[in-house]
Amino acid sequence: MSRGPAERKSGISKPAPRRIRTGIPLFLNNPSIIIAPVSLGAEPTFTQSSTRLPSTLSEPEVYCDAAEESPPLERGKSLFTSAIVKSVPKTIARGITSAILGKPDYEKAREQHARYVGALETCGLKVVVLDADDEFPDSVFVEDTAVVTDRHAVVARPGAPSRRGEIRAVEPVLSDLYENVERIEAPGTLDGGDVLQVGDRFYVGLTQRTNEEGAGQLSVFLQRYGFDVSLVPLRRFLHLKTGVSYLGDDDLLVAGELVENDAFAGFDGIPVPTQEEYCANCIRVNDRVLIPAGYEETKASISTRGYEVVELEMSEFQKVDGGLSCLSLRLP
């Protein structure tokens, strides 16, 4: 992929822009958007029918003047050139958690974070490390603050009120990197951990953190740049990517409530055993798959499919419900 002309303040290059579809508003009667009826807390039923987005959403006003449709990204490619991470705050032990694994140790978390950054670099990424912010105990989980693509970036509005201010550190970096930066606005809420990209399609989890309004706003933005969207209501997982990771070549790691979900019916599902559920959150970074250490069965399932696996100790982040993907924003 060709690079933007100049290195930016952040030290990483701007993602090369892609052509954008033009014409009628993309979300109107668009068969490529799939929205399931949502009733959080109740048994979700997933219907693959085309639906209009909620009427409260405004029509996109700006369309690119490019005349051609962009070719779809090759399904399975997950090529990244850089990543944004945020250092561990001293307050990490006060992070939100449902785990009963004890409090994370700050020094240990710093070591694990340093290894994580090293692994991203080994995968060929240039890594921008944002300063730690002790005001926000969960701020190391920078993935939740934004959605980044090769065409635009969207600043999230985290569902947990204690995390809302985290976007202040990320917004200027994204504005430096992208010409097009949109924002999720109230009453919408959206955590980046609820957003999974597979080629030109985005799967967006509806969870306690991401509401219909937030997911709807994101869908409008994504469609404006030629992406398709599927909404996936969840009952139990914190985030969509808590239970699913795309490895490439149609291989999808799935756990728990997502194993039988129709949204992912077209993939080669690799079920993650219940006792290894934490390992469902992995990241494919260029030629390698980064996984949490200690999950032998899932590691074997991934390796036997020909992927080079890198194991990373994640114990301190797991204590505050954080997985591998949460620790970075990976940029094409």
Site for ligand CIR in 178-197 (CB under 6 A): 193
**Which of residues 133 and 321 has its CB atom nearest to ligand CIR in the complex?**
321
10 and 176 Cβ atoms separated by less than 8 Å? yes
Interacting span for ligand CIR (CB under 6 A) from 148-156, 215-223, 235-243, 296-304: 235-243
Q: Which two tokens stand for residue 132?
A: 């730690």
Does residue number 243 form part of the binding site for ligand CIR (CB under 6 A)? Answer: no
Candidate list 123, 239, 279, 282, residue with the active-site label: 239
CA distance 97 to 117: 23
Taking every pair of Cα atoms in the chain, the longest distance, rounded to a whole number of angstroms, is 56
Interacting span for ligand CIR (CB under 6 A) from 95-103, 115-123, 221-229, 286-294: 95-103
Does residue number 326 form part of the binding site for ligand CIR (CB under 6 A)? Answer: yes
Considering only 144, 150, 166, 182, the residue that binds ligand CIR (CB under 6 A) is 144
Instruction: Name the residue type at position 176.
Output: D
Determine whether 279 is an active site residue. Answer: no
Does residue number 322 form part of the binding site for ligand CIR (CB under 6 A)? Answer: yes
**Residue 188: closest CA among 143, 230, 221, 235:** 221
Q: Which two tokens stand for residue 19?
A: 């052509």
Least Å from the CB of residue 328 to ligand CIR: 10
Q: Is 268 exposed, middle or buried (0-12, 13-18, 19+ CB in 10 A)?
A: exposed
3-state secondary structure of 318: helix
**Which of residues 238 and 255 has its CB atom nearest to ligand CIR in the complex?**
238
Residue with tokens 């997982």: 237
Interacting span for ligand CIR (CB under 6 A) from 11-19, 64-72, 175-183, 234-242: 234-242
149 and 122 Cβ atoms separated by less than 8 Å? no
- Which residues are 82's β-sheet partners? 126, 331
Considering only 263, 321, 330, 332, the residue that binds ligand CIR (CB under 6 A) is 321
Does residue number 323 form part of the binding site for ligand CIR (CB under 6 A)? Answer: yes
Does residue number 136 form part of the binding site for ligand CIR (CB under 6 A)? Answer: no
Instruction: Name the residue type at position 141.
Output: F
Q: Which two tokens stand for residue 153?
A: 């970036």
3-state secondary structure of 197: strand
Least Å from the CB of residue 38 to ligand CIR: 20
Q: Which two tokens stand for residue 310?
A: 């890198």
Least Å from the CB of residue 5 to ligand CIR: 33
Site for ligand CIR in 55-84 (CB under 6 A): none
Does residue number 205 form part of the binding site for ligand CIR (CB under 6 A)? Answer: no
Determine whether 239 is an active site residue. Answer: yes
**Which of residues 193 and 332 has its CB atom nearest to ligand CIR in the complex?**
193
Residue with tokens 């694994």: 101
CA distance 18 to 15: 9
CA distance 264 to 259: 8
The contacts of residue 92 (CB under 8 Å, 6+ apart) are 104, 106, 109, 137, 138, 140, 316, 320
Interacting span for ligand CIR (CB under 6 A) from 33-41, 71-79, 300-308, 320-328: 320-328
- Residue spans of alpha helices (H) in 65-197: 106-122, 167-177
Instruction: Determine the size of the site formed for ligand CIR (CB under 6 A).
Output: 18
Does residue number 276 form part of the binding site for ligand CIR (CB under 6 A)? Answer: no
Does residue number 95 form part of the binding site for ligand CIR (CB under 6 A)? Answer: yes
Residue nearest to ligand CIR (CB): 193
Does residue number 160 form part of the binding site for ligand CIR (CB under 6 A)? Answer: yes
**Which of residues 95 and 292 has its CB atom nearest to ligand CIR in the complex?**
95
> Contact residues for ligand CIR (CB under 6 A)?
95-97, 138, 141, 143-144, 160, 163, 193, 238-239, 242, 320-323, 326
Point out the residues that are catalytic.
239, 326
